[in-house]
């Protein structure tokens, strides 16, 4: 029997309880993933498949949430929410029908990954909670038809678009676009150094992977999103002129992308912006205008400029392409097959965390995404904490932090909604914490990291108990700081 054939509901093999996996057979894993891919290609749906659905009495599930397949081996539910809900379920072994079932709204899992490393996947969102309960049922010889509840519980698969799709979450950010961005962005900004440095990890008390976005022509990660956005806008016939507001790094990135395509750019920056960043924006061809005391004040001026001139306003955190370009960092973080417990990321306007988190939550959803804001600019954190259904953003009258790159006073609502899809928590760090992390990175790695680029390390250093013995990754997002400025801050 070909193991790529998906068994139908009347096959007795589907009623067998699967056996615990002690070792993985690569051919079986390949067959399972191939069967999932083939069904998805043929039918247009299918997020997971249990091994016994292709006749393998093995306790493993292949899952594909849109960023490629991953394996869940010997899954065990360790927690169930008291709250349950009813929804319409589909199944590869019952491909012609939908069944209304009742599931726990959230569960937590313990499982092994494809390298047989122990993982925990905590408090799954409802759509994934339902999915994994469905697949674990398969492993226990239970079909969704056994779970039918309520009146008229079985419907035709032809009603799937009306009954199933509305139950599934949607995202502004496209996984396909993140993958595409990795082919569009200038290679000089891709595949940035990613490494483990044991002395730094020892100083922080965790297993740490650092990805450095400093060694490129603008010394920060922002070019990924800016280049992908400009490429997409050019394809769609975007306006002949662009305008943005920036404290410096995004302005540099957009200026470089616009110069390559000969697109005029005006950047509105705060009057107290980093002189190094202002100089570099002008060197890259941008018309730089200084307005206001923070980036939100300069943003208002940029919007007015757009209204008066017809230029297209580009907002970091609002445009999906910017976040999708940043999402390529998530692809690269996982490309070596690492299994991270936590990925810790700075939050300014939210594009980095939203893009990276979007990819990681689809490719390795057991990994927790933790955002970090400056305590002196907590608007993003406070708005996120209000919950996904709260439309009113938290606005502060001013900001007070050395981390100018993440000093947001008024969040973008769409960015907060993007972050609600991926973030597990947000923490705040003080300027003293940030300075301590900058000094640590200089001592351990010999790197001059700007304040906003060091806040993730600051969060780890400030609360070592939280990260103790965990496998953590973070991104050093920028190094646009002079030696003199570093010395002033670091003493």
**Mind telling me the catalytic residues?**
135
- Strand extents, DSSP E, 122-276: 154-156, 194-195, 207-212, 242-245, 265-269
Tokens 């247009």 map to which residue?
Answer: 44
- DSSP assignment letter at 398: -
Q: Are 458 and 433 in contact (CB under 8 A)?
A: yes
β-bridge mates for residue 69, sequence order: 64
Q: Please state, in angstroms and rounded to a whole number, the distance separating the CA atoms of residues 470 and 15.
A: 38
Q: Are 144 and 137 in contact (CB under 8 A)?
A: yes
- DSSP assignment letter at 19: B
Q: What are phi and psi of 97, to 5 degrees?
A: -140, 160
Q: Please state, in angstroms and rounded to a whole number, the distance separating the CA atoms of residues 250 and 313.
A: 13
- Residue 136 in tokens: 């674990």
Grouping H, G, I as helix, E, B as strand and the rest as coil, residue 242 is strand
Note the helical H segments in 351-430: 351-363, 379-385, 413-422
Q: Are 227 and 185 in contact (CB under 8 A)?
A: yes
First-to-last CA distance in the chain? 71
- Residue 399 in tokens: 């900001």
């Amino acid at each position: 029997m070909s193991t790529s054939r998906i068994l139908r509901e009347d096959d007795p093999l589907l009623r067998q309880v699967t056996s615990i996996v002690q070792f993985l057979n690569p051919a079986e894993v390949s067959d399972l993933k191939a069967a999932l891919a083939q069904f998805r290609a043929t039918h247009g749906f299918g997020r997971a498949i249990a091994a016994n659905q292709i006749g393998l009495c093995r306790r493993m599930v292949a899952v594909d949430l849109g960023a490629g397949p991953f394996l869940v081996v010997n899954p065990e539910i360790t927690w169930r929410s008291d709250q349950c809900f009813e929804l319409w379920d589909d199944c590869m072994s019952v491909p012609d029908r939908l069944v209304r079932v009742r599931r726990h709204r959230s569960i937590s899992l313990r499982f092994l990954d494809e390298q047989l490393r122990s993982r925990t996947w905590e408090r799954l969102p409802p759509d994934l909670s339902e999915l994994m309960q469905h697949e674990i049922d398969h492993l226990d010889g239970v079909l969704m038809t056994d779970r039918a509840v309520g009146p008229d519980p079985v419907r035709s698969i032809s009603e799937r678009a009306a009954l199933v799709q509305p139950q599934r979450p949607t995202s502004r950010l496209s996984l396909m676009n993140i993958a595409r961005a990795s082919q569009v962005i200038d290679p000089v900004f891709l595949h940035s150094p990613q490494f483990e440095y044991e002395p730094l990890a020892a100083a922080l008390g965790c297993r740490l992977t650092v990805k450095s976005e400093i060694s490129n022509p603008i010394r920060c990660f922002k070019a990924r999103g800016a280049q992908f956005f400009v490429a997409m806008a050019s394809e769609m016939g975007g306006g002949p002129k662009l305008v943005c507001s920036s404290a410096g790094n995004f302005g540099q990135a957009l200026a470089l992308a616009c110069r390559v395509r000969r697109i005029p750019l005006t950047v509105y920056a705060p009057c107290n912006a980093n002189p190094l960043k202002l100089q570099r924006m002008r060197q890259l061809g941008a018309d730089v205008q200084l307005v206001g005391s923070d980036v939100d004040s300069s943003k208002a001026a940029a919007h007015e400029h757009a209204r008066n001139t017809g230029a297209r306003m580009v907002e970091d955190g609002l445009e999906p392409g910017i976040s999708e370009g940043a999402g390529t960092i998530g692809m690269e973080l996982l490309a070596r097959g690492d299994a991270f417990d936590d990925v810790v990321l700075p939050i300014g306007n939210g594009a980095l965390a939203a893009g990276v988190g979007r990819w990681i939550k689809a490719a390795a959803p057991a990994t927790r995404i933790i955002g970090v804001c400056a305590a002196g600019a907590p608007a993003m954190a406070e708005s996120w904490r209000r919950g996904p259904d709260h439309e009113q953003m938290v606005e502060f009258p001013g900001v007070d932090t050395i981390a100018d790159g993440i000093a947001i006073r008024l969040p973008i609502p769409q960015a907060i909604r993007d972050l609600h899809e991926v973030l597990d928590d947000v923490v705040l760090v003080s300027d003293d914490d940030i300075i301590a992390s900058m000094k640590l990175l200089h001592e351990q790695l010999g790197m001059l990291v700007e304040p906003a680029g060091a806040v993730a390390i600051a969060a780890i250093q400030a609360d070592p108990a939280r990260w103790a013995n965990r496998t953590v990754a973070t991104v050093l997002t920028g190094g646009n700081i002079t030696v003199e400025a570093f010395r002033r801050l670091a003493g």
